[in-house]
Structures are given as structure tokens and as C-alpha cells.
Structure 1
């Protein structure tokens, strides 16, 4: 996966930004994400009511793996202001020098997605610049505008809108009334090569019904469309800017071939426990599901998870176990420009499609030291290197590029099977009035991809801000 240069205009501006957790309607553990591990939340959105806050910190991350030394050396600046609890402004800037390549899924530095500009051999300038403006018209409605990221769901990963990708220009509407909560987001994305980007739009909404304090059900829908390509300047599709419509009927009425996905979400809370689930549906034919034919166009994914908060000797502990399964070709489209992605990165789960993943994590808040531990094991089907045929694991490839003459028999792991086990631990010490984090993070990766088995062991150390701290567990 490659990175693109950052152009600071509304339609082109998309900084390559690190992980972000904006939880939508998750009040099961209100203290967990404010006390443990720097709020463990890298979105600019905050619910605090400070009138004004400015802070800075060094951004120093160093890593070592197999006689290779990598570094990021820079600074971070954050600004927050609010006016009479009606208007908020959030600004964030991170910049510096690095000798590491900008790789979306593999990085010993644990950085997520930055804008990299090569200055010299093995010397890159990295920067992370974003903002969010919020207007609260009343207690029921909020409008957001800016360049940032969003996440929908209670899982560490999301099958709707994930947190591992790239920030983008957006407008957002959030509203709540009675037992209903509504979220509408319209993003300006882009795809293509560094010399020729294809702008595209992505509209999505989520309607959630809170049956009671323990049970919530939600319906999700999104549509992706091309704004401009080499032959046609379509512009913004204003029909999709209507937050009160369903996208699938609107797509049919336009006569377009846009990429529409639907999904359902459920959360069940009981005391300090939560069970959650997501189901994403791209396409399907019920008769083929009943026949168990593993038809190519039965494209869907499921997520099941459980998380729990404990208190051991007056020290909070958080535990999560999660399973994600996504069939081949899910999120992909006939035209790769309308795939569910942004700058070659998936908008949902970072593995894209054609995978089964098991994930487990534990947070322990100590008196002097915070500890984070996670394990990840997955099976993923990759395309064969040097072969243009798509086996459903790369959503940037058209689903029309399937193996010639084959429509059935596609199962998870189709193509070149890859098995990976990743084990990581992070030890964090807060310093400077709990504004900065000093951390050490050893990690082990075991990967089997025929005909080789690869082992990686690396250690990362750093000093960063507690706000928008680096987190990577995939």
C-alpha cells in the first residue's frame, strides 16, 4: 500500500493519520476511556467542557528489529477552545523527521498513517494535521465539520467504519431524541496513483434504537460514488446528502452503479459487561446461501465480541475478546475507485476481506505503571504475487478479475493462505503532570505463508503526548 501527498484544501485534504477511537453511544464503561491509557482515544472529539486548552509535547519513537533502527523525532501541538458550550474548535499538529517508510499495515514504529515527504535518502518529513469544528444547536442536534476520523461500533475493530485508516474531509450530523440516536457522515475520499487521484464521495448513516438501558439495536447503510474520473466529471451527488433517505432506492433511481452496503448492530449491556455484534451485507442470494455453494457474490461479514471491566485491589482492569469474519470480495466493487477504501486503505477492518480473525486484549491500570497486552491470530487469503487474478482478499481489485470460469467454491482463505500470530505488550508511565507518556513495547510476530515461515521480534520505545497517542494492535 502506498501513501499520497497531502493537499490542504477541503476536497483534497486528507492527512495520513494514526489510530482513532470515536465510540458511538457507548456509555457502558464511562471511566475506562478517560482514566486508562490516555483516554485510549485519538479522535479530536471530546466531551469535556474546558473553555480553553493548549499543550505541546515531544514526539519521540524509536524501534529496533533485526539490526534495523528506525525513528520518528518531532513534536506535537494541540489546541482546544469552546464558546458557551455551543461551539468547539479542535486543532492538532504533529511533525518531524523519520527514517522509516510509510507502510500502512507494517511498522515497527507503531505509527498509523502520516503524510511522508522524502527530503533525502532515508530521511522523510512526516506531519499529521487535522481539525474539527463542532456546533451544538441544542441538546438534540450537533453539526461537525473538518478533517478527522470516525469509528462506528463497540468493537476494537469495526465492520462499518474503522479507525485504522486515513482521515478525510467530512461533514457530520448527530442527533438524539427519545430512544433514538442518528448519525450521518459524508466524507470526501480519493483513490488512485500519486500522480492522478480519483476523488470520490462516501455517505453513511446509522440509526440506533435504545430499547432500554441494556439493549440497543442499529441499522447502518453507506454508499460510495465517484466524483470525477478520466471520462466524466459527476461532481457531488447531492441526492446522497439528504440524511432522511435510504441509499439503495436512491441509487436505483439515479440509475448508477454505486457501491452500497448495509449492516446491523446489536449491543447488550449487563452491569460492567457488554456483548456486541455487527453484520455487514454487501450482496447475497439466499438460494446460494442455502445451497452452501460459496458463491462469489455472497459477500458479507460478521463480528462478535465481549468486553468486561473489573476492579482488582482498587485497580481497574479491562478485558476484551473479539472475532471478525469477512467473506471474499466483500466491500469490493466492479470499479476499484468505488471500493470501500480511501487511498488504498480499507475504511472498515484493516484486513479488508477474505479473513477470519481472533483478537484479545487486556488493560491493567497500576499505581505507577499501566500495562496493555494483546494477541491477534488470523487466517487471510491473499492474491498470488505477480498474478492479476483476484481471490477476494484485495478490495482494490475488481470482483470481475476472479479466476476465469469460477463463480463458486470461494471460502475464507481462498488464494494464498496466510496465518499470523501476533503477541504484543506495552508498558506506559505517565509523567509531567500526566500529560506525557513514556512507553516500552516489545512485540512478536509469527507468520506462515507457503512455502516460508517468518518470525519477527522488535522493541519500540517512545515519549509522546497522552492526547492522540500511538496505538497499534494489528
Structure 2
């Protein structure tokens, strides 16, 4: 009862105070920063996020300090090392993420991260970036349980346990090379994540899971931009094969065509195929049938008699004004028209969607931003015959962190005043869990052959569970170049159904840096 009162008080506080801004350059979509609508430029494509640009905050002119000593500049204004030349530049910074806090379910929690980032530009066409982080931490109960069950930290890869088994040790690295031979073409080779969409979540391809190797080509002419990407993913669920080293692998190819039909309305068409790298019959490897960058994937998959997993989707955005946008997505995994029209809830009608609204300078208050969106996926969406074909990587979903068989309402707001940033989040979700040997379609790693029922499937079936996640934070920015900041946050989480009622109140303070985004709101 006391915890429930705390959660209710926190909700009221969030609704009235609104919220840890990670505001950035218009169009630079890193961390959870908001971007402005670009209705005056038909060549701006907000749903294709550019991860190569150097990340930094934009401070109001009256909060930018005058040049001082070398130590002051390095701590509060510049990278540790940086050199800028018309033909090339370079930067390097050390990135701490030190947090200490308390969880009502676990007592003391902490994080000790030592990181480094280096990047730069050679000539006008070649850019590079590399990051490395070494981490030890003790997490809140719900994250600790997830990590022990899946053997990974969300978004950060595999973990090792310390001698006591109470905390985790893990590493994180990412790298990206970008070459732009002309204004019409960009080529990226990376070990990182990708995101397609205009919302906080993406039902098409999100940055929810761990990094993966990829080759991406992006071409733009006029109001049209086209992206094709080939990537390799890891599957930790299926048993290892004797003739291969390490975890099982799978491949993915993605096509996305985004068209700014008018200065206010854009439409994007998405398709993806996931296929198995090897099975007990032998190694398949990369399928060169999917190498042609302009091919439509579904006909190619059908023509070669493929058993692969194909998905198709749509992303749409309409700018109501310079500062306000409505957006949405639709993902189609499988369906039969006669089963859809029958209304009997056939398991194989697998699809999901998103509808959202975002606004900058809300109520004409500069740097006050708001986002609200609804996401949903029917049972078994993204799942396949086995996890090697599922839309997953490194024990996490490639789209929404809740997998499938859910509906979610997500609300975010942030505000920036000089070097102060406020952020708040309210998440409400309902989903259906499994019990015993049942499969109601939330676990997208489970084979759909093990489904519990053929008809009557609907969102929330199984053990209907309600999730409420609230978080508010205040940060004071020390250095805009690497997002070094002092931050205080409070979060409340409640997950309940007829079998359990898990509650947790989390308080943390820290000295933090980097622009990495991790999804802990699930």
C-alpha cells in the first residue's frame, strides 16, 4: 500500500512537472532527443536516422561560456582531444557512466562504466566513429531477473557474473565507417544499431537489441530516399552446431523507400527477410538471391521456394505545422484475407501498428517537447517456426521490446533551460504471458507450431498482465560535446496479473556521459 501511494505520487509529479531533455540538433536523432519537423525541405527524411554525425547538444547562446583555461575547456566545452582542419578532423573523449541508487526490491544498485569514443573525418566524404565501454553493475530487480533469464544486459550483450553472483560484468563496443562519394549516395559499414520510424518505438526496425554488423547503402534523389541494408544477427536460443564455432547466426536484408510526397506528407515502404545461416543439414551462409539492392524481397523469396521469414510494412508522417507531427506504422508478417474478414481470430493473422503525435515548442514554450504514441502487435507477430527465423537478435526483439501480443501507450516529454534538462515518461501496457507449456504468442522466440489455439486469438490473451512504468529525471549538462552531465532520476514500475504483483521504486544519482540509448522501459 505504501509503495502504491509512492507510485501514485510519482505519477502526479510527472504529469505536472514534465521532465530529462536530451535535445539535439534538428534531425540528429540520438538518445531520446526530439527533432523538429522539416516541412520546408523536401529532402529531409526523418524516418531514416543518421548515426554518423558527431553528436553534441546545442546550447542557448547565453549559456555558452567564454573561452577559459585548457582544463576548463576540456571539462566543460570540448572533447579531451580534438583537432579541426579543413581537410580532416579528429576527436577523442573518455566517457564515464557512474551511478549509485536504491531499489525498493533490491536495496543498493550501482553502475560503473568506463568508456571512450574516437571519431573524425578524412576529406569531405569519409567519416568514422568507434566506442568502447567496460561495465560492472548491480541492477534493479526486474532488470536483474531479465538478465539472469536471458544472459544479456538489455541492448548491451552477454554478461558475466562476479564471484558472489550479485552483480554483472559486461562490455560494449560499436563502430561505424561512412563514405559519401556523391550527394546522392552514402555507404556505411558498421557494428551498431539502426532505427526506422518517426516515433520513440519502431514496429519495423528499432535500436532495441544489441549491436550487429551491417552494410548499408542509402541513395537520395529529390524527394525520394532509398535504403538497403544487409546484416548478420546472433541467435542464443538454438543449440550450437558441432561444425560451427559460437552461437548460431542468421542473416537479414532490409529495403526501405521513403517518399516526401508533399512538404507535409511522407510515406515509406519497408520490407525485410530473415534467414538461417546453417542447420543440421549444413551451412547455407549468405544468400546471394537477396544481393540485388533494388529487388522486391517477397517475389524473390517466393521464386526460390524459400522457407525464410519475410515482413512488409509502411511508415507515414504528416506535419500538422512546423512543430507538430502525426505519424504511424503498420507491420505485416503473415495473413490470409479470408481469415481476416471472418473475424475468428486466426493465429496466422500476424500484424501490428503504431499511431503517434509529437510536438516541439509546446504551448509556444521554447524547448518544451511532447510525444505520445500507441503501439500494438497481435499474438505471434515476428515469430516463426524457430528462433533462427524469428525477428530477433541476441535474445531481444528487432522491433518492439515487448515482442508481440501487447498494446502499449507511451508518453514522453522533455524541457531544456540553458544547461538544465528535464524529462519524464509514463508507459502503460497490457500483454498476455504464458504459463506452463502454453504459447499465447508473446514470446516471439517460441515456435508458432507450439501455439495453444488455432482460433480466438486476441491481444492480451493468456495471463493478462498490466504494466505501468513511470520515470522522471533532472540533469545538469557539464559538457555538450559528450553529454557529460549530473543526473538524478526516480522511476516506479508495477507489473501485475492474477498470479503476481511486482512493484519497484528506483532512485539513482550519477555522473553520466555518451548519447547511447537503452530501452529499460519494458
Find 1:225's aligned residue among 275, 285, 303: 275
Indicate yes or no: 2:466 matched with 1:422: no
Question: Matched residues in 1 for 2:511 and 2:276: separation?
Answer: 41
Find 2:499's aligned residue among 442, 451, 457: 451
Q: Which residue of 1 aligns with 2:25?
A: none
Indicate yes or no: 2:127 matched with 1:88: yes
Find 1:167's aligned residue among 197, 208, 211: 211
Find 1:176's aligned residue among 210, 220, 224: 220
Q: Which moved more, 1:72-81 or 1:307-316?
A: 307-316
Report the TM-score, using the length of structure 2 for normalisation. Answer: 0.78
Distance 1:440-1:304 versus aligned 2 partners, 3 A rule: same
Give CA deviations for 1:432-451 in whole Å, capped at 9, x if unaligned: 46641111110111221213
Distance 1:106-1:397 versus aligned 2 partners, 3 A rule: closer
Question: Matched residues in 2 for 1:314 and 1:414: separation?
Answer: 43
Find 1:51's aligned residue among 77, 81, 89: 89
Question: Matched residues in 2 for 1:439 and 1:191: separation?
Answer: 35
Report SS of the residue matched to 1:71: strand
- How far is 1:469 from its partner? 6.0
Question: Matched residues in 1 for 2:480 and 2:185: separation?
Answer: 35
Q: Does the CA-based 8 Å contact 1:22-1:150 persist in structure 2? A: no
Question: Matched residues in 1 for 2:450 and 2:149: separation?
Answer: 26
Question: Matched residues in 2 for 1:28 and 1:51: separation?
Answer: 28
- How far is 1:399 from its partner? 0.8
User: Of the two structures, which has the highest relative contact order with CA contacts closer than 8 Å and spacing of 6 or more?
Assistant: 2
Report SS of the residue matched to 1:407: coil
Find 1:244's aligned residue among 294, 300, 307: 294
- How far is 1:53 from its partner? 1.2
Give CA deviations for 1:221-247 in whole Å, capped at 9, x if unaligned: 000000112322111111112211011
The alignment of Structure 1 onto Structure 2 pairs a total of residues equal to 437
Report SS of the residue matched to 1:205: strand
Indicate yes or no: 2:441 matched with 1:392: yes
Distance 1:339-1:195 versus aligned 2 partners, 3 A rule: closer
Report SS of the residue matched to 2:286: coil
Question: Matched residues in 1 for 2:460 and 2:237: separation?
Answer: 28
Q: Does the CA-based 8 Å contact 2:30-2:516 persist in structure 1? A: no
Distance 1:221-1:151 versus aligned 2 partners, 3 A rule: same
Indicate yes or no: 2:451 matched with 1:402: yes
Indicate yes or no: 2:467 matched with 1:460: no
Distance 1:382-1:319 versus aligned 2 partners, 3 A rule: same
Give CA deviations for 1:375-416 in whole Å, capped at 9, x if unaligned: 0001101111x32x311111101111012xx31100001111
Name stretches of at least 5 consecutive residues in structure 1 with no aligned partner: 1-19, 31-40
- Of Structure 1 and Structure 2, the greater strand share is in 1
Distance 1:102-1:414 versus aligned 2 partners, 3 A rule: closer
- How far is 1:44 from its partner? 4.7
Q: Does the CA-based 8 Å contact 2:362-2:370 persist in structure 1? A: no
Distance 1:74-1:169 versus aligned 2 partners, 3 A rule: same
Report the TM-score, using the length of structure 1 for normalisation. Answer: 0.86
- How far is 1:21 from its partner? 5.4
Report SS of the residue matched to 2:354: strand
Who wins on radius of gyration, i.e. which is larger?
A: 2
Indicate yes or no: 2:155 matched with 1:116: no
Q: Which residue of 1 aligns with 2:112?
A: 73
- List aligned pairs for 1:18-417, cutoff 5 A: 28-29=36-37, 44-46=51-53, 51-66=89-104, 67-100=106-139, 101=144, 103=146, 112-121=155-164, 122-193=166-237, 196=240, 197-269=247-319, 270-310=321-361, 315-384=366-435, 386-387=436-437, 389-403=438-452, 406-417=453-464
